[in-house]
Copies of this chain bind each other. A is one copy, B any other.
Amino acid sequence: MTTAENQNWRSIRDELNRRIAKRIWLPGELIPGEVELAEEFGCARATVNRALRELASTGLLDRRRRAGTRVARHPVRKATFSIPITRIEVEDRGAAWSHRVLSNDRLPAPAQVAERLGIKPGQDLLHQTSVHFADREPFVLEDRWISIDTVPGILDVDFSHISANEWLVQNVAFTRGDFVLCAANASRTEADILDTKPGAALFIVERTTWNLDMPITSVRLAYAPGYQVRMEI
């Protein structure tokens, strides 16, 4: 019965994955329990558990106490989407990064921004707009609101060499973030800044982050045409 000893959890995961891929186990089907699989693979139950947990975390299996483990009927697979520092994102593309601050003002929070951050409208925030460049070509336009309450140090930062993005990432940890991805036509102003035509399709990322329920920043990133996000599963 034991066909292979010295299995590690990865090889067990791969074998179970194969059985799902090859439809040896059909969607919705109950698969053997941890104890039975441990016997089959000649390993401890904890090792099988590790493999099953990984597959469940990618959406391939549904696990419930008492009910057992089933192959997911609607395999809503999950891909990871990473949030890099813009400077590093540019440099990873083999380009030289630079940036320019367009505006930097203390302003009361507009209603929409206050709602996103979960604060009272009118609270003092730092509003900054800036452009990041890749080899002198506009790369992304950043429109950012920062909570002065949470991040008082932001008022003393010299933004000539470090962007608000990178300063925040390095100086303020965040525990929670909301993200919205969408597409939008460039306004005249955006087109001018990004060196494109009004109406050009821009990839937009809106990101709001908190640190333990303290709002940090809400930012809208408008990427120059041609920008792509790549992911793998």
Q: Residues of A at under 8 Å CB distance from B? A: 17-18, 20-23, 27, 59, 73-85, 88, 169-170, 173-185, 199-204, 211-212, 223, 225-233
User: Which B residues are in CB contact (< 8 Å) with A184?
Assistant: 183, 201
Given A79-B83, A201-B201: A233 and B177 within 8 A (CB)?
yes
User: Which B residues are in CB contact (< 8 Å) with A74?
Assistant: 84-85, 88, 169-170
Closest 7 CB pairs of A and B: A183-B183, A201-B201, A183-B201, A78-B80, A183-B203, A181-B229, A177-B233
B179 lies within 8 A of A79 (CB): yes
A79 lies within 8 A of B76 (CB): no
A230 lies within 8 A of B179 (CB): yes
A23 lies within 8 A of B75 (CB): no
User: Which B residues are in CB contact (< 8 Å) with A27?
Assistant: 170
B177 lies within 8 A of A232 (CB): yes
User: Which B residues are in CB contact (< 8 Å) with A202?
Assistant: 183, 201
CA–CA, A232 to B20, complex, Å? 28
A41 to B: closest C-beta gap in Å:
20
- Pick the residue among B20, B173, B183 that contacts A75 (CB under 8 A): B173
Given contacts A80-B80, A180-B229, 15 further A-B contacts (CB under 8 A): A21-B173, A21-B174, A22-B173, A74-B85, A76-B84, A77-B174, A79-B83, A81-B81, A176-B232, A182-B203, A183-B184, A183-B201, A183-B203, A183-B204, A201-B202
15 A-B pairs within 8 Å (CB atoms) are namely A21-B174, A21-B211, A21-B212, A23-B173, A74-B84, A74-B88, A77-B82, A77-B177, A79-B82, A81-B231, A178-B232, A180-B228, A180-B229, A181-B203, A181-B229
User: Which B residues are in CB contact (< 8 Å) with A182?
Assistant: 203, 226-229
A79 lies within 8 A of B77 (CB): no
Given A27-B170, A74-B88, A201-B185: A176 and B233 within 8 A (CB)?
yes
User: Which B residues are in CB contact (< 8 Å) with A233?
Assistant: 83, 176-177, 179
